[in-house]
Amino acid sequence: MTDGVAVAGEVRRAADALPTDLARQLIALSRDGAPRDRAIVLAAMRTASARFWSLLDEEVRREWQGAPVWTHALAVRLTEGEDDLLRLAMAASHPSGYLREAATALLATTPDPVAVTVLALRSGDWVPVVRAAARKALARRLPAMPLVELSSLVDIAFHLDRRASHEWLAEAARDRLRSLTTSEVQAVLPVRAHRARRTAYQMLIESGQLTTPQLIAAATADPDQTVRAMCARAAIAGTTGLAELRSLAHGRTGLVRAEAVHVLAKRGEYAEAEALLADRSQIVRTVARNVLRIAGMEVLARYRALVDADDPTTGAIAGLGEVGDQRDAARLRRWLRHPQARVRAATVVALRRIGNVDQAMLLPMLRDNSSAVVAQARTSLLRIAGELDCDHLERLVHPETPTHTRFAAYRLLAAANVWQRVILDLRLYADSDERLRRTARTDLASWLAHGAATTYSMPTPAQAQLLSGLIANVRPIVGDRTALLLRFHTGT
């Protein structure tokens, strides 16, 4: 008996690829699963992505070809007016056009997001009769379709939009969206397909339905960068007064600030661009630099002056890192001792950008009390991991050291030498720190699976002796087979 909870879990986890036997499990569940199990799976399928449904349609069709007895039973059920939604969804992907047509006719009267999604798939069916039936059912339901069902339709419609057979569906979805109020469109928008969100927002912008505050809110919070940029441009485009543009140039949203700076510069207004050279947002700094360079300003000199100030901002330090060179290393290094962690972290990043990575300067920063600073120091030092003082890093891995420092030292040591990496993984295999323990175990397993066979160097005699003892220590945890495999690959 197929477990509905387990299958539902696989449905939720499926993304760009389906588990090998998921289609078979769904067909089995639709055939003889308990009502409770079928209901659990349907609940998961209601929130599945359009890509999931597109892949599932193909997989289910293949699976049905190997189940002639089930096909006969399904045909009988459909003839009798089968009303179980999971069975209908599986039948709608059957290789037989007659069964797909029968399932489509029954789904046409079923009010559920799953039914809508399956009808949407069949609206591009290669059999004209099936295709026409699905389109007729959707056209009849669309004018009064509940928003939860419409959300499913929009998701699948714009996912399939590039397929010639689904052009009708995409246009029908656009027409329905155009008829909605702003609040209704926004209720439909939380779909997974970014293309659907972009289309809906574009229509709202073109029709002038979104206010400037609504556009700014979308530019701030929407998960899709294209939508954020589109809304930022629209917010600025709808603003004509210089005072309003200046206000938006100092607003909370980076994309809006960048657009405002650009529009002001086109009007010959450069004060905001100069003021925002050291903005906290990289895109704002970039736009400000570009417009000022066009205007003939020397931005590098301006950044140097900002960093030489008594207390520069992180934006000024980041900006100098983006346009400076090795000559700026000294003026940046002084801020490695700044009392604020964000300034120290920004300084490490800026030094890395200009190509200044000095282990004498950065190794002490691995002991910084800020994990953000340590992470940036580690990223810089990874470039020269093979040149670092291993004894110093070994001391930083000791249990009494803060976790973020231990983790950074572990990464640097592991990057320096393959046998040092294996030694560390074995040492930390039973460490008291969960993060390090989990990382070490995952890394060792990855090395055994992908790197051990192509590691052509051999450990030194001292390393081999150490590895032998460490393998013996972890043998009760990893088991005899893995211990033997480790001994084989380490030559011990």
- Cβ proximity of 245 and 264 under 8 Å: yes
Last residue of a domain, one of 341, 356, 371: 356
* Contacts of 378 by beta carbon, 8 Å cutoff, 6+ apart: 366, 408, 411, 412
Q: What is the helix (H) or strand (E) element at residue 424, kind and residue range?
A: helix 418-427
Q: Which residue has the tokens 């059912």?
A: 137
In the chain, the percentage of residues whose pLDDT exceeds 70 is 97
- pLDDT tens-digit map of 474-485: 999 988 999 999
Q: Please name which of 356, 444, 428 lies closest in space to residue 394, comparing C-alpha atoms.
A: 428
Nearest CA to 47 among 149, 134, 137?
Answer: 149
Asked if residue 472 is part of any domain, the answer here is: no
197 assigned to some structural domain: no
Among 119, 150, 181, where does a domain finish?
150
What is the extent of the structural domain holding 136? Answer: 1-150
Residue 168 lies in a domain: no
Q: Would residue 386 count as lying in a domain?
A: no
pLDDT of 51-105, one tens digit each? 888 888 888 888 877 667 667 777 777 777 777 888 888 888 888 888 888 888 8
DSSP per-residue letters across 50-98? HHHHHHHHHHHHHHHTT-HHHHHHHHHHHHTT---HHHHHHHTT-S-HH
Question: Is 443 among the domain residues?
Answer: no
Domain boundary among 150, 180, 198: 150
Joined together, the tokens standing for residue 459 give 């450990």
Evaluate whether residue 82 is within a structural domain. Answer: yes
374 and 345 in contact (C-beta within 8 Å)? Answer: no
Question: Looking at the 3D structure of the chain, how many domains does it have?
Answer: 2
Residue 118 backbone class (left: φ over 0; alpha: ψ -120 to 50; beta: rest): alpha
pLDDT one-digit tens code per residue, 317-357: 999 999 999 999 999 999 999 999 999 999 999 999 999 99
406 domain-assigned: no
CATH number at residue 327: 1.25.10
How many CB atoms sit inside 10 A of residue 369's CB? 10
Q: What is the pLDDT of residue 335?
A: 95
Domain-located, residue 465: no
pTM of the model: 0.66
| Integer CA distances (angstroms), 393 to 180, 366, 459, in order | 62, 9, 19
